[in-house]
Amino acid sequence: MTNLSADLVQKKQKLRERLRFRRRHFAANLDGLAQLSAFRALPAPLTELLANHAVIGAYVAWGDEPDVMPMFAPLADAGALALPHHAGRVAEMGFRRWRPGDLLAKGPWGTQQPSDDAKSATPDLIFCPLVGFDRQGGRIGQGGGHYDRYFAAHPDALRIGVGWSVQEIDATPRESTDIALDAILTEQEFILCGDRL
């Protein structure tokens, strides 16, 4: 792994703090109708795309992240949904299948994840949460690098970031281990960031 300069680490941390504040404030001030309609139905460009993939990776929202699970209910019912799973406080992240009614367990970082005995899966299309993003596919995550390492190990999987529109910035600071997104989904639009979709 590339050693980050102290300046880049500090810059990313300051951005995370600012963007988490934006996200928290935005989510807290959504009116009831906006909360009910955000991320509840797949936008038209994604409907056909999802039909062409056997296993879709999603996530259970934590804090003020957008809740995408209602959008994926039909996929979950059909057994085509997988969620991130951490075996412990280790670098590796995997995915496990999940259906409505399956129990979720508290993961090592406090997030909800499938139980340890859920079947492993390898999604070919992954929706991941964001702290920040730019229109070139740059992503700022929580800082652990779990998604970047997973993306690097599974380069053929399509990568779609999910966040609120207020999390957009002009350019994300990047290093060699940061993996670009193929698209970003916000409550306002679906943004293509490359030529893989």
pLDDT at 95: 98
Q: Read off the pLDDT of residues 111-150 as tens digits, 9 standing for 90 and up.
A: 999 999 999 999 999 999 999 999 999 999 998 899 999 9
Structural domains in the chain plus CATH codes: 6-192 (3.40.50.10420)
Residue at 144: amino acid letter: G
pLDDT at 1: 41
What span, in angstroms and rounded, lies between the C-alpha atoms of 56 and 128?
A: 11
- Kindly state the DSSP code that residue 132 receives in the 8-state scheme: E
Bridge pairing between strands 120-121 and 94-97? antiparallel
pLDDT at 51: 85
Q: What percent of the chain has pLDDT over 70?
A: 96
Local confidence band at 72 (pLDDT 50, 70, 90 cut-offs): very high
> Is residue 163 over pLDDT 60?
yes
HSE-up of residue 146 (Cα within 13 Å, Cβ side): 20
What span, in angstroms and rounded, lies between the C-alpha atoms of 49 and 92?
A: 27
Mean of all residue pLDDT scores within the chain: 91
pLDDT at 36: 64
HSE-up of residue 21 (Cα within 13 Å, Cβ side): 5
Q: Read off the pLDDT of residues 79-122 as tens digits, 9 standing for 90 and up.
A: 899 999 999 887 789 999 999 999 999 999 889 999 999 999 99
Q: Read off the pLDDT of residues 10-35 as tens digits, 9 standing for 90 and up.
A: 889 999 999 999 999 999 888 876 76
Residue at 87: amino acid letter: A
Assign 75 to helix, strand or coil: helix
pLDDT at 125: 96
Residue at 8: amino acid letter: L
pLDDT at 115: 95
pLDDT at 2: 47
Residue at 101: amino acid letter: G
Q: Read off the pLDDT of residues 29-53 as tens digits, 9 standing for 90 and up.
A: 888 767 667 888 888 888 888 888 8
